[in-house]
Amino acid sequence: MSRLPTGQLFRTSAGSDLILYRTFHAPAEDVWAGLTESDRTALWFGP
């Protein structure tokens, strides 16, 4: 993962959208699993 997150805030008619950009040095399958599988997501954010 990149050390400094980058992103942009976009104003929309419904409010705001925040888009964050990250670079992960891992296969796409591992990154997706880390975002979608709760047991793996917990490893990223700690107990």
Determine the pLDDT at residue 12. Answer: 94
Nearest to 2, CA basis, from 26, 18, 22, 28: 22
Statement: residue 41 has pLDDT above 60? yes
**Other residues' Cβ atoms within 10 Å of the Cβ of residue 39:** 8
For the purposes of burial, counting CB atoms within 10 Å of the CB of 44, is it exposed (0-12), middle (13-18) or buried (19 or more)? exposed
Instruction: Answer for the pair 18, 7: CB distance below 8 angstroms, yes or no.
Output: yes
Average pLDDT score, the chain: 85
Report which of residues 47 and 42 the model is more confident about. 42
Q: What's the pTM?
A: 0.51
Q: Tell me the CA end-to-end span of the chain in Å, nearest whole number.
A: 20
